Structure 1
Amino acid sequence: MQAGLEFWAPHVAAIEQESVATAVYAKRHGLALHSLYYWRQKIKAAAAQTADSPEQGSAFVALTMSEPVLAQPSGSCTLVLGPGVRVELPALPAPEWLAALGRAMQGAR
């Protein structure tokens, strides 16, 4: 499906940019009109879903403390990844490791 998206996304963007009727654009480029309508709807739905998802559009995440923070040994690190999921580390991990963990957690949703 990714190959389909890579092919159709530029066409859908061109229709918007040129402000031309979808049928006219399809005929001009020799594209199947029903496929163009299908991919236009699919791409717009994906864009709307991304816009509705605040964690996708922001580089910052709000942090709220639900319980008091207890003093930890110097250099230790505790990550709370969700209800009942805590990771206790002896030291603060590398930023690359934290970024990979964030990407893995997003993929697990």
Structure 2
Amino acid sequence: MRRSILAASILACAAAALAQAQQPPRMPTSPAAGTPGTATPQPYGQPQSAPIQRQGPGTAPLLPPPQGQSLPRLAPQPPKDQAIPLLEQQLQRNRQPVEPGKTQN
């Protein structure tokens, strides 16, 4: 009985080895190009775009507003700052060169 079990296991191992030898070796498959984690098949080209022209302040928007809406109003320019006399005097003093012999406070 032991011999029959031993012979059956040897025969099963031999059959498995023979079956494996009959199959061609499997080559590792590589993922398709363009899938995440793979190199890009072709380098990216340079984008084709026209240069954008800058518009100055106070010009109309590039696109017209949707139908039924009016153009937005331009914000009024804030008034210029008024001169501050004490600040002007300080600026005048700062522009003057320091004379040798005078100490600064």
Task: Note whether the superposition's TM-score is higher than 0.5.
Answer: no
Higher helix share: 1
Q: TM-score, normalised by structure 1?
A: 0.22
Higher strand share: 1
- Greater radius of gyration (CA): 2
Task: State the structure with bigger RCO (CA 8 A, min sep 6), 1 or 2.
Answer: 1
